[in-house]
Amino acid sequence: MPKLRTPEEAVSLIKDGDSILVGGFGLCGTPFTMIDAIAAQDEARNLTVISNNLGEPGKGLGKLLLTGHLKKAVGSYFTTNRDAVKAWKNGELEIELIPQGTIAEAVRAGGAGIAGFYIKTAVGTKLAEGKEERVFNGERYILVEAIRARVALIKALKADTLGNLVYSRTARNFNPMMATAADLVIAEVDEIVEVGELDAESIVTPHIYVDVVVLNRYEKRGGVYVEKQ
């Protein structure tokens, strides 16, 4: 399979200072294997991560926080990881807060070629400071710019040998939209099958969006993600 790479080969495509979209909601739908590969190398640091949250202490993106690979985090919910709060208070991590629905739409817009959009969310709050404001039908709105990144790390259930992807229930979360909004898309999957084995109606991310496929080295046991033996 031309797109299949080891995690180590895939991570070599990430550059120092890159912006990276990372799928996941909490730990659900998180590309753990690729996060491990980033944590194990020193060539790509000073990363800006755009994700819903920073995992949990020492888990998921929380691991990259402890290894010092992160420069900035853009997302909507960081308080599940006390290490993120501590790093921000100590000036070791930049944080940009964006409401959850807003970040979802900003990434979707980035993938659709839309430069920006107006919303009412956050009007009159600190999150709206410095943003352009307009009035539509008597209501105040602020301009939000679309989000794109050079790299996206996404997690899917299965890929076929072309790179078409299907997802597992809520593990789908932000992954499909992130696959459309990056120059380099690395998909971590649990299984790879032959072309034609996936139900065409179940394919969410077409192969044209996927550049690299990596096999996941984790599995869920008793509600906990552990490395496969």
Asked whether the predicted pLDDT for residue 224 surpasses 80, the reply is no
The mean pLDDT value for 174-187 works out to 98
The whole-number pLDDT of residue 80 equals: 85
Q: H-helix or E-strand containing 103?
A: helix 100-112
Asked whether the predicted pLDDT for residue 200 surpasses 90, the reply is yes
The mean pLDDT value for 188-206 works out to 96
Q: Which of 99, 95, 147, 96 is nearest to 123 (CA)?
A: 99
Give the whole-angstrom CA distance, residue 187 versus residue 166: 11
The whole-number pLDDT of residue 2 equals: 76
pLDDT in tens, 67-96: 999 999 999 999 889 999 999 999 999 999
pLDDT in tens, 153-170: 999 999 999 999 999 999
The better pLDDT of the pair 48, 127 is held by 48
The whole-number pLDDT of residue 226 equals: 75
Q: How far is residue 201 from each of residues 28, 133, 198, measured CA to CA in Å?
A: 23, 41, 8
The whole-number pLDDT of residue 205 equals: 98
Asked whether the predicted pLDDT for residue 1 surpasses 60, the reply is no
The mean pLDDT value for 211-227 works out to 82
**Strand duo 218-221 + 224-227: pairing:** antiparallel
Asked whether the predicted pLDDT for residue 48 surpasses 80, the reply is yes
The whole-number pLDDT of residue 195 equals: 95
CA 79 to centroid of chain Cα atoms: 18
Gyration radius (Cα) of the chain, Å? 18
- What is the average pLDDT value for the chain, to the nearest integer? 94
Asked whether the predicted pLDDT for residue 182 surpasses 60, the reply is yes
Give the whole-angstrom CA distance, residue 173 versus residue 228: 24
